[in-house]
């Protein structure tokens, strides 16, 4: 029978910081608030925090970097909350987690306390989601394609309401009514 060793004070501090950082991640807060991950969203957030701590505490693998943590966050959001994160927030969170790890390794606690303070202030408040239509990178691509002028833009064709057309019988050139299949292709 294996027994887990008692976590070190730095591991506990790191876990507290991650829990607090995840608690202020707006994308995750919205996913939990809206039950995108089902009724166990808060438990999934705690599980994610423990998975991140485990990744750093596992001596068998190299210490995770920003990209590894970002990919983990994005994957968990997609798998557990059915949310595709494309707003760059996972990158910011992963950067903070790496900074948190490095600070704790140096014996500092400022970042943990900062995240815990922000988490306390956010507790009970609804997350503020702002719609973001196009990222800066995507916006640049669009400007390059059309040179920023609206003259090159094509008009969008109007959609045809097929529900009315399908009720009317179709008549061919000779005046015969065509029989149409009810199955859609």
Q: Which is higher by pLDDT, 176 or 3?
A: 176
Q: What is the pLDDT of residue 64?
A: 95
Residue 168 banded pLDDT, cuts 50, 70, 90: low
| Domain annotation covers residue 106 | yes
Q: What is the pLDDT of residue 184?
A: 53
| Domain annotation covers residue 145 | no
As a whole number of angstroms, the distance between CA 25 and CA 74 comes to 12
The model's pLDDT over 145-156, given as tens digits with 9 standing for 90+, comes to 444 444 444 555
Q: Which is higher by pLDDT, 1 or 107?
A: 107
Three-state secondary structure call for residue 26: helix
The model's pLDDT over 124-148, given as tens digits with 9 standing for 90+, comes to 888 876 533 233 333 344 344 444 4
Domain hosting residue 15, numbered range: 9-122
| pTM of model > 0.85 | no
Three-state secondary structure call for residue 170: strand
> If 0-12 CB within 10 Å is exposed, 13-18 middle and 19+ buried, where does residue 89 land?
middle
Strand extents, DSSP E, 45-99: none
- Of the candidates 159, 170, 173, the residue with the CA atom closest to the CA atom of residue 181: 170
Q: Which is higher by pLDDT, 148 or 22?
A: 22
Q: What is the pLDDT of residue 182?
A: 60
As a whole number of angstroms, the distance between CA 115 and CA 142 comes to 37
| Domain annotation covers residue 14 | yes
The total number of structural domains that make up the chain: 1
Q: What is the pLDDT of residue 4?
A: 60
Residue 160 banded pLDDT, cuts 50, 70, 90: very low
| Domain annotation covers residue 61 | yes
| Domain annotation covers residue 80 | yes
Cβ contacts of residue 33 below 8 Å, gap of 6+?
Answer: 41, 126, 127
Total length of the chain = 185
């Amino acid at each position: 029978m294996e027994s887990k060793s008692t976590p070190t004070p730095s591991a506990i501090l790191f876990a507290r910081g991650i829990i607090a950082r995840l608690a202020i991640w707006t994308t995750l807060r919205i996913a939990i608030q809206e039950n995108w991950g089902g009724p166990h969203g808060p438990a999934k957030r705690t599980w994610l925090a423990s998975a991140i701590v485990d990744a750093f505490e596992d001596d068998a693998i190299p210490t995770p970097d920003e990209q590894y943590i970002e990919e983990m966050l994005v994957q968990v959001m997609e798998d557990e909350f059915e949310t595709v994160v494309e707003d760059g927030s996972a990158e910011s969170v992963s950067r903070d987690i790496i900074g948190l790890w490095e600070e704790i390794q140096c014996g500092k606690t400022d970042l943990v306390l900062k995240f815990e303070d922000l988490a306390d202030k956010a507790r009970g408040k609804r997350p503020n989601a702002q719609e973001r239509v196009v990222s800066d990178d995507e916006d640049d691509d669009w400007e390059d394609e059309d040179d920023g002028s609206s003259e090159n833009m094509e008009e969008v064709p109007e959609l045809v309401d097929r529900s009315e057309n399908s009720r009317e019988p179709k008549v061919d050139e000779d005046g015969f009514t065509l029989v149409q299949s009810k199955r859609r292709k």
